[in-house]
């Protein structure tokens, strides 16, 4: 019997057939670039945050308010991922912070090689000075971005009140990959059938101990906790 | 949706391996898709079977996918259990009905937390 496939028909195998045990991740190339990005970000003096959520959950608005709160004391850079348009990067630039727009032209997620390109552009914008905090706003999508390490230090997943409290249970891979979950647009709680208990319970079933911060970028409720979390990550 | 980009990176890995081992063609590839990897088996196979046509070295490659059953740890009783996914085209299979909606077979809690299972591994490649 053939050792390779267990078949009885030895003739169909060529004598120079070779079996290679690879045992390597399918994401090995992305992972290698992600590790190099992480090193690059540290060389730039910064920590990086990968922000993942569905479209319209408030990632860019959260960034605008965060920049308002931090920009006098913290040097921020932003990499924006979208399928098309410079709109998000323009919103960030209007706040006086350097922003690079990556347009994927259809791809549903950012990957580490794309972010590598973005980091070099951010570095160019800084003209030799350092960054403290780099936000990478992923393509709006609760599915695909979960698989790709970009070289971030922390992964923040946003869930907005209008999306519904069942989303952690429905998109487990993304919520399970988070280091922090933000429940955004809490000012809309009176108008939506959103159960904070359900959202928290489902998230903590996927990953016990995961911190969850409810907040509203409109009213500022819960913002102090988010800002304190960001400050705790900074190198100095 | 990102199965195609994963299949693409697999083809590139295979081409590198064929070059490294001076093989003319890849005949068989074994890949493990973890149950919580978020990768859809059928889409990944479809992507691979389409993309392999573009390269002479991978054209005849047969993809063998291993998909281990999902493992959960109960947050109430701490026991570990294997609860297979329901196969969509076999909804009348009574064998697993008592397990759905998913609950711990030991204490009936529904607080089942996924254990590991996010792996995407290229295990073995046969070439000649």
**Within-domain flag for A76:** yes
% chain B with pLDDT above 70: 88
Per-residue pLDDT band for B96 (boundaries 50, 70, 90) equals: low
Instruction: For residue B73, list chain A residues with Cβ-Cβ distance below 8 A.
Output: none
Per-residue pLDDT band for A4 (boundaries 50, 70, 90) equals: low
% chain A with pLDDT above 90: 89
Determine the residue of chain A that is closest to B11 in CA distance: A26
**Within-domain flag for A57:** yes
Which of A179, A191, A159, A183 shows the shortest CA–CA distance to A233?
Answer: A179
Query: Are B75 and A143 a contacting pair at CB < 8 A?
Result: no
Query: Are B114 and A208 a contacting pair at CB < 8 A?
Result: no
For residue B65, the cross-strand partners are B31
**Count: domains in chain A:** 1
DSSP output for chain A: --TTT--S-GGGS-TT-EEEEEEEETTHHHHHHHHHHHHHHHHTT-EEEEEE--TTSSHHHHHHHHHHHHTTTS-EEEEEEESS-SHHHHHHHTTT--EEEEE-TT-SS--HHHHHHHHHHHHHHHTT---SEEEEE--S-SSGGGG---S-SEEEEEEEGGG-TTHHHHSHHHHHT-SEEEEE-GGGGGGS---HHHHHHHHHHHSTT--EEE--TTT-TTHHHHHHHHHHH---
**Within-domain flag for A18:** no
Greatest mean pLDDT among A2-11, B32-41, B96-105: B32-41
* A66-89 residue pLDDT tens: 999 999 999 999 999 999 999 999
- A9 part of contact set with chain B, CB < 8 Å: no
Instruction: For residue B75, list chain A residues with Cβ-Cβ distance below 8 A.
Output: 205, 208
CATH number of the domain bearing residue A216: 3.40.50.300
- A26 part of contact set with chain B, CB < 8 Å: yes
Classified by CATH at the fold level, domain B3-68+116-127 comes out as: hypothetical protein PF0899 fold (3.30.2320)
The answer for A109, left when phi > 0, alpha when psi is -120 to 50, beta otherwise, is: beta
User: Residue A127 belongs to what domain range?
Assistant: 24-233
Give dist(CA A41, CA A77) in Å, integer: 11
Instruction: For residue A177, list chain B residues with Cβ-Cβ distance below 8 A.
Output: 118
Determine the residue of chain A that is closest to B114 in CA distance: A206
Query: Are A27 and B9 a contacting pair at CB < 8 A?
Result: yes
Task: Please report the pLDDT score of residue B98 as a whole number.
Answer: 63
Per-residue pLDDT band for B101 (boundaries 50, 70, 90) equals: confident
List the domain boundaries for chain B: 3-68+116-127, 71-114
Task: Please report the pLDDT score of residue A1 as a whole number.
Answer: 47
Under 8 Å between Cβ of B26 and B125 = yes
């Amino acid at each position: 019997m053939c050792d390779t496939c267990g078949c009885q028909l030895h003739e169909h195998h060529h004598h120079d057939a070779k079996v290679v045990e690879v045992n390597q991740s399918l994401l090995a190339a992305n992972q290698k670039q992600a590790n190099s990005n992480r090193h690059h970000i540290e060389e730039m003096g910064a920590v990086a945050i990968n922000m993942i959520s569905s479209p319209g959950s408030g990632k860019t608005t959260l960034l605008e308010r965060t920049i308002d709160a931090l920009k006098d004391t913290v040097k921020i850079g932003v990499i924006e991922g979208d399928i098309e348009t410079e709109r998000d990067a323009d919103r960030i630039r209007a706040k006086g912070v350097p922003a690079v727009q990556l347009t994927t032209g259809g791809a549903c997620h950012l990957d580490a090689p794309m972010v590598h390109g973005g980091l070099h552009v951010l570095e160019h914008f800084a003209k030799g000075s350092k960054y403290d905090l780099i936000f990478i706003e992923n393509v709006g999508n609760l599915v695909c971005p979960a698989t790709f390490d970009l070289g971030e230090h922390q992964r923040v997943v946003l869930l907005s009140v209008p999306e519904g409290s069942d989303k952690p249970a429905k998109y487990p891979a993304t919520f399970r990959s988070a280091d922090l979950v933000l429940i955004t647009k809490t000012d809309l709680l009176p108008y939506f059938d959103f159960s904070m208990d359900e959202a928290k319970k489902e998230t903590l079933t996927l990953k016990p101990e995961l911190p969850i911060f409810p907040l509203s970028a409109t009213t500022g409720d819960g913002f102090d906790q988010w800002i304190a979390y960001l400050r705790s990550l900074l190198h100095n | 949706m990102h199965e195609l980009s994963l299949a693409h990176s697999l083809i590139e890995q295979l081409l590198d391996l064929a070059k490294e081992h001076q093989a003319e063609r890849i005949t068989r590839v074994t890949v493990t898709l973890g149950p919580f990897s978020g990768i859809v088996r059928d889409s990944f196979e479809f992507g691979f079977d389409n993309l392999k046509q573009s390269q002479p070295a991978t054209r005849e490659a047969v993809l063998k996918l291993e998909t281990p059953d999902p493992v959960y740890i109960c947050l109430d009783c701490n026991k570990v259990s294997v609860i297979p996914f329901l196969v969509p085209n076999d909804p009348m299979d009574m064998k697993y009905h008592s397990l759905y909606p998913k609950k711990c077979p030991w204490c009936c809690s529904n607080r089942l937390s996924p254990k590991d299972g996010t792996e995407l591994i290229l295990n073995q490649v046969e070439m000649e």
